[in-house]
Every structure is written in C-alpha cells, then in structure tokens.
Structure 1
Amino acid sequence: MSFTLTNEQIEILTLLANGVIPADETDLGAAEVQAGPVIASRINNGSIHSHVYLQGIEAASDLAQDLYGCTPNLMNAEQIYEVLLELRTLTPPFYKQLRLDVSALYLSDPAVWERIGFPGPSSDKGGYPDFDQPQHKLKTQGK
C-alpha cells in the first residue's frame, strides 16, 4: 500500500532525521545523505512501514506544540533532540525505525566512509588482515 506524505510531514521527518545524526565540523550529518527525503520517498512508494512513520511524525508534531508551543519547523536543534528523546519513550517502534534507517543511509555512503576513516567493505578482501591490530584513522585526500 502506498501513501503520500504531505510537504509538512516530509519537513518534520527531515528535521527528525537530521536530529538523529546532526551536523558537526566533519559533515552535515544525516542531511549529507538527504536521509529525510530518501525515507519520505520510501514511505511514499510503500517500501517501508508507513504506519510507523506516520505515528511518529504525528507524535513529534504534538510534542512540539505541547513542549514548545510551536510547529516542529520552528524548533532549534536542542528542542529537536528533546523531542527525539520523548519519542523514544512514546513511540519506540518509530524511534527505532528512524534511527535504523538514518544510520543505514548515512553509513552506506562511501563519502562518509572516507570522512570517518572506514576502509570500506571487507568482502572483496576476504576480511581485514589486520583485524587483530589497533585501528587508526585513514588519511583523507588533501590532508
């Protein structure tokens, strides 16, 4: 079954996704891989649990109003973080699914691998030959 999110729901989902992996001095976090819009697209084509996401988006909107007297798009980063903490208790399936999907999108991006020092998948090498040695961050290009 497919469902189409409204622009407002996509915006809320994007804010929450960006709160899971926020921007820092390294990169834009979840925004770097457009996690919110990608998840919204998957909801719209029915490939992931739309009912779980709809419940979470609605709960986030209600929490923003109850806690801060505003819509989610007017919350700052700290307030989004607090809403995510509340969602962890109020809607565990949504919170877990959002964290899972955002993390999977972020950590499957080869550009992110380079920034965090991950050498890439080991399957083509039969495993990492140095698995039992202390690991060090790889040098990135230009540094």
Structure 2
Amino acid sequence: MSAHPYEYYIDIVTKRYFDGVDNYNLEQVLDCFHEDAVLTEVTSMTVHEGRDQGIRAMFEGLFDAHSRIWHGNFVHTADTGNEAICSQFSVEVTPKGADEELRYENCNRFYLKDGKFTRVYVYMSGENLLK
C-alpha cells in the first residue's frame, strides 16, 4: 500500500513538476526527482540519467530554447499501490526567435519511491524537445 493518497500523485505532477516547468523554476522541478532518477524520452529513446547531471542539463536546454512553455488539459490515472501515475496532457511551446507555437499531445508515465520520481517515461507526439 502506498504511503501517499491518490491526490498526492496528481499534485506532484501538476502543482509541483509541470508548474515548475511552465514557470522555468528549475529547482522546483528537480526537487520532484530522486538523485539517481532516470528520465527517458521514449519516442526517440533519449535517456537522461541523474537528477543533478542529465536531468538538470535537459531542463536547462529546454528552458534556454523556449520563450513559453505550457502544459494543461490533464487526464491522470494513478496506481497508488505501485506508486505510479500516467498523465496525458496538451503542451504548447514557443521556441525562442519563432513566431509560431508548437502543439503536442503527450503522455508521461511517472514511477515514484518515497514521494519522488525514480523513473519518468515521456511519449511525445512530435519532435523531441528534451535533448
């Protein structure tokens, strides 16, 4: 049985993780991860290892490349017994120097241990933005 209620999983994904991404708050984003976490962008099989190395560098690149990032229209399925949540959502991003925004419909699978992400799998509907 999970130590966290169903709502905790939705809150860490939306009110902590994606809120941090959308507001360019790198420390808030990284605080959602364990030190040895792994984030995999599955569509291109790009793997980012370690909160303070690969995952930090990935988000620094994402923030540097875009003037606007927004996530919303969430649909969640949480599996509290296995400490996991699957989140489907819309993404709007505007690359720096571009007039047009890009729109995606993505899905992330988050696995947690002790309330923080250990593994995250990102499925993108377009080009990989998490390089």
Q: TM-score, length-normalised on structure 2?
A: 0.32
Which is bigger in relative contact order (C-alpha 8 A, separation at least 6)? 2
**Which has more strand, going by share of residues?**
2
Structure with bigger helix share is: 1
